[in-house]
Amino acid sequence: MSETTGNTLVLNFGGYFQLRMATDPDPTDDPRGMSGYTFALPGEPDFDGLLHLQADELGVCQREFGSDGFSPRVGVTVKSALRSGVPMPALEGARLSLPNARLVERNGLVVRNDFFALDPVCLRLVQGGKLLLERVDELDPARPGLPITEADSPMLVRRQPKAWQMNSPEVAAATGLPNPPTDQDLIANRLHRRDCLIELLERTTDPVQRAALEVRISELAIVRRWWDLSQETPAGPPIDRRAYTLALQAKGWNVELNGPVRENTLGGDPKQPWPLAFWLGGWDGDALAAYMSGSLTVPLVS
Protein backbone atom coordinates (compact mmCIF):
# COMPACT_ATOMS: atom_id res chain seq x y z
CA MET A 1 0.00 0.00 0.00
CA SER A 2 1.28 3.44 -0.90
CA GLU A 3 1.53 6.40 1.45
CA THR A 4 0.77 10.02 0.67
CA THR A 5 3.09 13.00 0.80
CA GLY A 6 1.96 16.56 0.20
CA ASN A 7 -1.26 17.45 -1.59
CA THR A 8 -1.97 14.17 -3.35
CA LEU A 9 -4.66 11.58 -3.87
CA VAL A 10 -3.48 7.98 -3.56
CA LEU A 11 -5.73 5.15 -4.74
CA ASN A 12 -4.67 1.63 -3.72
CA PHE A 13 -6.33 -1.00 -5.89
CA GLY A 14 -6.47 -4.73 -6.45
CA GLY A 15 -8.41 -7.54 -8.07
CA TYR A 16 -8.43 -10.03 -10.90
CA PHE A 17 -8.25 -9.17 -14.58
CA GLN A 18 -8.80 -11.41 -17.58
CA LEU A 19 -6.41 -11.86 -20.50
CA ARG A 20 -7.59 -14.21 -23.23
CA MET A 21 -4.48 -14.79 -25.35
CA ALA A 22 -2.70 -17.69 -27.03
CA THR A 23 0.52 -18.91 -25.42
CA ASP A 24 3.91 -20.08 -26.66
CA PRO A 25 4.57 -21.80 -29.04
CA ASP A 26 1.42 -20.33 -30.63
CA PRO A 27 1.80 -16.81 -31.97
CA THR A 28 0.14 -14.38 -29.58
CA ASP A 29 -2.35 -13.26 -32.21
CA ASP A 30 -3.66 -16.80 -32.79
CA PRO A 31 -7.44 -16.43 -32.34
CA ARG A 32 -8.12 -19.83 -30.74
CA GLY A 33 -4.89 -21.42 -29.43
CA MET A 34 -3.52 -24.67 -30.78
CA SER A 35 -0.05 -25.62 -29.52
CA GLY A 36 0.24 -23.73 -26.23
CA TYR A 37 -1.81 -24.27 -23.08
CA THR A 38 -4.52 -21.60 -23.42
CA PHE A 39 -7.49 -22.13 -25.69
CA ALA A 40 -10.69 -20.44 -26.79
CA LEU A 41 -12.91 -23.39 -26.00
CA PRO A 42 -16.07 -24.62 -27.74
CA GLY A 43 -18.84 -22.09 -27.23
CA GLU A 44 -16.38 -19.24 -26.47
CA PRO A 45 -15.49 -16.26 -28.71
CA ASP A 46 -12.07 -15.78 -30.26
CA PHE A 47 -9.23 -14.39 -28.15
CA ASP A 48 -8.88 -10.61 -28.18
CA GLY A 49 -5.55 -10.33 -26.28
CA LEU A 50 -6.79 -7.41 -24.13
CA LEU A 51 -6.48 -6.81 -20.39
CA HIS A 52 -10.03 -6.72 -19.06
CA LEU A 53 -10.20 -5.27 -15.55
CA GLN A 54 -14.01 -5.36 -15.32
CA ALA A 55 -16.38 -8.26 -15.84
CA ASP A 56 -18.85 -6.28 -17.97
CA GLU A 57 -16.30 -5.29 -20.62
CA LEU A 58 -16.87 -6.57 -24.14
CA GLY A 59 -14.71 -9.67 -24.65
CA VAL A 60 -14.80 -11.05 -21.09
CA CYS A 61 -15.74 -14.72 -20.94
CA GLN A 62 -15.71 -16.14 -17.40
CA ARG A 63 -15.77 -19.90 -17.03
CA GLU A 64 -17.55 -22.16 -14.57
CA PHE A 65 -15.50 -23.83 -11.82
CA GLY A 66 -17.93 -26.18 -10.10
CA SER A 67 -17.50 -26.34 -6.34
CA ASP A 68 -13.92 -25.01 -6.44
CA GLY A 69 -13.46 -22.31 -3.79
CA PHE A 70 -10.45 -20.87 -5.64
CA SER A 71 -12.28 -19.31 -8.57
CA PRO A 72 -11.01 -15.91 -9.74
CA ARG A 73 -13.71 -13.46 -10.78
CA VAL A 74 -12.83 -10.36 -12.79
CA GLY A 75 -12.94 -6.97 -11.08
CA VAL A 76 -10.13 -4.51 -10.19
CA THR A 77 -11.34 -1.92 -7.68
CA VAL A 78 -10.07 0.72 -5.26
CA LYS A 79 -9.40 -0.89 -1.88
CA SER A 80 -8.46 2.32 -0.05
CA ALA A 81 -8.07 6.00 -0.87
CA LEU A 82 -6.14 8.76 0.88
CA ARG A 83 -6.34 12.46 0.09
CA SER A 84 -3.32 14.21 1.61
CA GLY A 85 -3.20 11.44 4.20
CA VAL A 86 -6.93 11.55 5.05
CA PRO A 87 -8.99 8.42 4.24
CA MET A 88 -11.68 8.83 1.57
CA PRO A 89 -14.01 5.84 2.01
CA ALA A 90 -16.37 7.25 -0.64
CA LEU A 91 -13.86 6.21 -3.31
CA GLU A 92 -13.56 2.60 -2.11
CA GLY A 93 -14.99 0.23 -4.68
CA ALA A 94 -14.39 2.57 -7.62
CA ARG A 95 -13.64 0.57 -10.77
CA LEU A 96 -10.38 0.81 -12.71
CA SER A 97 -9.94 -0.05 -16.35
CA LEU A 98 -7.22 0.09 -19.00
CA PRO A 99 -9.18 0.30 -22.27
CA ASN A 100 -7.62 -1.65 -25.15
CA ALA A 101 -4.42 -2.38 -23.19
CA ARG A 102 -2.26 -5.34 -24.18
CA LEU A 103 0.83 -6.99 -22.74
CA VAL A 104 2.85 -6.92 -25.92
CA GLU A 105 4.75 -10.13 -26.56
CA ARG A 106 6.24 -11.38 -29.80
CA ASN A 107 6.65 -15.06 -28.89
CA GLY A 108 10.09 -15.00 -30.45
CA LEU A 109 8.69 -14.43 -33.92
CA VAL A 110 10.16 -10.93 -34.02
CA VAL A 111 13.35 -10.30 -32.05
CA ARG A 112 12.64 -7.18 -30.00
CA ASN A 113 12.94 -6.15 -26.37
CA ASP A 114 9.27 -5.28 -25.84
CA PHE A 115 8.44 -8.41 -23.81
CA PHE A 116 5.31 -7.71 -21.73
CA ALA A 117 5.32 -3.97 -22.41
CA LEU A 118 1.94 -2.49 -21.54
CA ASP A 119 0.43 -0.68 -24.54
CA PRO A 120 -1.60 1.41 -25.01
CA VAL A 121 -2.03 2.98 -21.57
CA CYS A 122 -5.19 4.88 -20.72
CA LEU A 123 -6.28 4.72 -17.09
CA ARG A 124 -9.98 5.17 -16.36
CA LEU A 125 -11.67 5.42 -12.95
CA VAL A 126 -15.44 5.04 -12.60
CA GLN A 127 -17.62 5.15 -9.49
CA GLY A 128 -21.35 4.49 -9.55
CA GLY A 129 -21.43 4.77 -13.32
CA LYS A 130 -19.76 8.20 -13.26
CA LEU A 131 -16.38 8.77 -14.90
CA LEU A 132 -14.09 10.37 -12.30
CA LEU A 133 -10.63 10.28 -13.88
CA GLU A 134 -9.16 9.43 -17.24
CA ARG A 135 -5.64 10.04 -18.45
CA VAL A 136 -3.49 8.57 -21.19
CA ASP A 137 0.23 7.91 -21.26
CA GLU A 138 2.38 8.62 -24.28
CA LEU A 139 5.48 6.61 -25.14
CA ASP A 140 6.95 9.92 -26.27
CA PRO A 141 5.05 13.10 -25.30
CA ALA A 142 6.78 14.90 -28.19
CA ARG A 143 5.23 12.39 -30.61
CA PRO A 144 1.68 11.65 -29.44
CA GLY A 145 0.31 8.35 -30.66
CA LEU A 146 3.74 6.83 -31.35
CA PRO A 147 3.24 3.09 -32.03
CA ILE A 148 5.17 0.70 -29.83
CA THR A 149 6.92 -0.75 -32.87
CA GLU A 150 8.75 2.59 -33.18
CA ALA A 151 9.61 2.95 -29.48
CA ASP A 152 13.22 2.94 -28.30
CA SER A 153 14.56 1.03 -25.29
CA PRO A 154 13.95 3.70 -22.59
CA MET A 155 10.36 4.09 -23.78
CA LEU A 156 9.79 0.35 -23.52
CA VAL A 157 11.47 -0.04 -20.13
CA ARG A 158 9.06 2.39 -18.44
CA ARG A 159 6.17 0.22 -19.65
CA GLN A 160 7.68 -3.13 -18.55
CA PRO A 161 8.01 -5.13 -15.31
CA LYS A 162 11.38 -4.83 -13.62
CA ALA A 163 11.60 -8.27 -11.95
CA TRP A 164 10.00 -11.70 -11.78
CA GLN A 165 9.54 -13.79 -8.64
CA MET A 166 8.58 -17.44 -8.41
CA ASN A 167 6.48 -18.70 -5.48
CA SER A 168 5.74 -15.13 -4.46
CA PRO A 169 4.35 -14.67 -0.90
CA GLU A 170 2.74 -11.40 -2.03
CA VAL A 171 0.80 -13.21 -4.76
CA ALA A 172 -0.16 -15.98 -2.34
CA ALA A 173 -1.52 -13.44 0.16
CA ALA A 174 -3.59 -11.74 -2.54
CA THR A 175 -5.02 -14.89 -4.09
CA GLY A 176 -5.56 -17.12 -1.07
CA LEU A 177 -2.80 -19.64 -1.66
CA PRO A 178 -0.88 -21.23 1.23
CA ASN A 179 1.80 -18.75 2.23
CA PRO A 180 4.65 -19.12 1.48
CA PRO A 181 3.52 -21.26 -1.47
CA THR A 182 5.41 -24.40 -2.42
CA ASP A 183 5.43 -26.34 -5.68
CA GLN A 184 3.34 -29.01 -3.99
CA ASP A 185 0.74 -26.39 -3.01
CA LEU A 186 0.47 -25.20 -6.60
CA ILE A 187 0.22 -28.72 -7.98
CA ALA A 188 -2.44 -29.59 -5.42
CA ASN A 189 -4.42 -26.50 -6.47
CA ARG A 190 -4.51 -27.58 -10.10
CA LEU A 191 -5.46 -31.15 -9.27
CA HIS A 192 -8.23 -29.92 -6.97
CA ARG A 193 -9.58 -27.71 -9.76
CA ARG A 194 -9.48 -30.76 -12.04
CA ASP A 195 -11.50 -32.83 -9.55
CA CYS A 196 -14.10 -30.05 -9.35
CA LEU A 197 -14.42 -29.92 -13.13
CA ILE A 198 -14.79 -33.70 -13.32
CA GLU A 199 -17.74 -33.39 -10.92
CA LEU A 200 -19.14 -30.55 -13.04
CA LEU A 201 -18.76 -32.65 -16.19
CA GLU A 202 -20.83 -35.43 -14.63
CA ARG A 203 -23.72 -32.96 -14.14
CA THR A 204 -23.40 -31.37 -17.59
CA THR A 205 -25.49 -32.58 -20.52
CA ASP A 206 -24.89 -29.88 -23.15
CA PRO A 207 -22.41 -31.35 -25.70
CA VAL A 208 -20.62 -28.02 -26.32
CA GLN A 209 -20.09 -27.41 -22.61
CA ARG A 210 -18.93 -30.99 -22.15
CA ALA A 211 -16.35 -30.62 -24.92
CA ALA A 212 -14.98 -27.45 -23.29
CA LEU A 213 -14.78 -29.11 -19.86
CA GLU A 214 -12.95 -32.12 -21.28
CA VAL A 215 -10.21 -29.87 -22.69
CA ARG A 216 -9.81 -28.06 -19.36
CA ILE A 217 -9.68 -31.32 -17.41
CA SER A 218 -7.00 -32.65 -19.74
CA GLU A 219 -4.87 -29.51 -19.36
CA LEU A 220 -5.20 -29.42 -15.56
CA ALA A 221 -3.77 -32.94 -15.38
CA ILE A 222 -0.42 -31.63 -16.68
CA VAL A 223 1.30 -30.35 -13.52
CA ARG A 224 4.87 -31.54 -14.16
CA ARG A 225 7.01 -31.41 -17.28
CA TRP A 226 7.05 -35.17 -17.65
CA TRP A 227 8.98 -34.82 -20.93
CA ASP A 228 11.85 -32.87 -19.29
CA LEU A 229 14.05 -35.73 -18.09
CA SER A 230 17.22 -33.61 -18.02
CA GLN A 231 16.00 -31.52 -15.06
CA GLU A 232 14.26 -34.18 -13.00
CA THR A 233 14.23 -33.53 -9.24
CA PRO A 234 13.87 -35.98 -6.31
CA ALA A 235 10.14 -35.14 -6.35
CA GLY A 236 9.92 -35.90 -10.06
CA PRO A 237 10.06 -33.80 -13.24
CA PRO A 238 10.05 -29.99 -12.86
CA ILE A 239 6.75 -28.27 -12.11
CA ASP A 240 4.90 -27.21 -15.27
CA ARG A 241 3.91 -23.62 -16.09
CA ARG A 242 0.24 -24.63 -15.80
CA ALA A 243 0.92 -24.83 -12.05
CA TYR A 244 3.86 -22.57 -11.19
CA THR A 245 2.32 -19.44 -12.74
CA LEU A 246 -0.25 -19.46 -9.91
CA ALA A 247 2.41 -17.89 -7.67
CA LEU A 248 4.53 -16.16 -10.32
CA GLN A 249 4.81 -12.39 -9.93
CA ALA A 250 5.83 -9.76 -12.47
CA LYS A 251 6.59 -6.64 -10.47
CA GLY A 252 7.97 -3.15 -10.84
CA TRP A 253 5.64 -1.58 -13.39
CA ASN A 254 5.81 2.16 -12.77
CA VAL A 255 4.26 4.25 -15.51
CA GLU A 256 4.11 7.99 -14.84
CA LEU A 257 1.04 8.98 -16.81
CA ASN A 258 2.13 11.95 -18.90
CA GLY A 259 -0.53 12.52 -21.57
CA PRO A 260 -3.78 14.43 -21.94
CA VAL A 261 -6.23 14.37 -19.02
CA ARG A 262 -9.65 13.56 -20.47
CA GLU A 263 -11.65 13.62 -17.21
CA ASN A 264 -10.62 15.18 -13.92
CA THR A 265 -13.47 15.54 -11.42
CA LEU A 266 -11.10 14.81 -8.49
CA GLY A 267 -8.85 17.79 -9.14
CA GLY A 268 -5.65 16.17 -10.40
CA ASP A 269 -2.86 18.46 -11.60
CA PRO A 270 -2.63 17.91 -15.38
CA LYS A 271 0.80 19.59 -15.45
CA GLN A 272 2.40 16.84 -13.36
CA PRO A 273 2.79 13.11 -14.11
CA TRP A 274 0.52 10.70 -12.23
CA PRO A 275 2.53 7.63 -11.12
CA LEU A 276 0.80 4.31 -11.77
CA ALA A 277 2.68 1.51 -9.97
CA PHE A 278 1.56 -2.12 -9.89
CA TRP A 279 2.40 -5.80 -10.12
CA LEU A 280 0.67 -8.65 -11.95
CA GLY A 281 0.73 -12.22 -10.69
CA GLY A 282 -1.09 -15.43 -9.96
CA TRP A 283 -1.77 -16.30 -13.60
CA ASP A 284 -4.46 -18.97 -13.77
CA GLY A 285 -4.23 -20.54 -17.22
CA ASP A 286 -7.53 -22.34 -16.73
CA ALA A 287 -9.45 -19.17 -15.87
CA LEU A 288 -7.32 -16.98 -18.20
CA ALA A 289 -7.06 -14.52 -15.31
CA ALA A 290 -4.44 -13.06 -12.98
CA TYR A 291 -4.26 -10.66 -10.04
CA MET A 292 -3.34 -6.98 -10.24
CA SER A 293 -2.31 -4.87 -7.25
CA GLY A 294 -0.94 -1.35 -7.11
CA SER A 295 -1.56 2.34 -6.62
CA LEU A 296 -2.31 5.48 -8.58
CA THR A 297 -0.84 8.70 -7.15
CA VAL A 298 -2.49 11.89 -8.37
CA PRO A 299 -0.89 15.23 -7.46
CA LEU A 300 -3.72 17.67 -6.79
CA VAL A 301 -4.15 21.23 -7.88
CA SER A 302 -3.55 23.45 -4.82
* pLDDT tens readout for residues 133-150: 999 999 999 999 999 989
Decide if 236 is inside a domain: no
Strand intervals (E) in the chain: 8-19, 51-52, 75-83, 86-87, 95-97, 102-104, 117-119, 121-127, 130-137, 163-165, 249-257, 261-264, 274-284, 289-299
In eight-state DSSP terms, residue 120 is S
Decide if 124 is inside a domain: yes
Decide if 230 is inside a domain: no
Decide if 25 is inside a domain: yes
pTM above 0.75, yes or no: yes
**Alpha-carbon 226 to chain mean position:** 28
Decide if 189 is inside a domain: no
Decide if 141 is inside a domain: yes
* pLDDT tens readout for residues 14-35: 999 999 999 988 988 899 999 9
- Our count of domains for the chain comes to 1
pLDDT confidence of residue 121: 98
Amino acid identity of residue 284, one-letter, is D
Rounded-to-integer distance, Cα 165 and Cα 251, Å: 8
**302 residues of the chain, pLDDT tens digit each:** 444 457 999 999 999 999 999 998 898 889 999 999 999 999 999 999 999 999 999 999 999 999 876 679 999 999 999 999 999 999 999 999 999 999 987 665 554 566 789 999 999 999 999 999 999 999 999 999 999 989 999 999 999 999 999 999 999 999 999 999 999 999 999 999 999 999 999 999 999 999 999 999 999 999 999 888 788 778 789 999 999 999 999 999 999 999 999 999 999 999 999 999 999 999 999 999 999 999 999 999 97
Q: Are 117 and 160 in contact (CB under 8 A)?
A: yes
Decide if 203 is inside a domain: no
Decide if 43 is inside a domain: yes
pLDDT confidence of residue 1: 47
Domain residue limits at 137: 8-165+246-299
Q: Which of 236, 201, 203, 206 is nearest to 222 (CA)?
A: 236
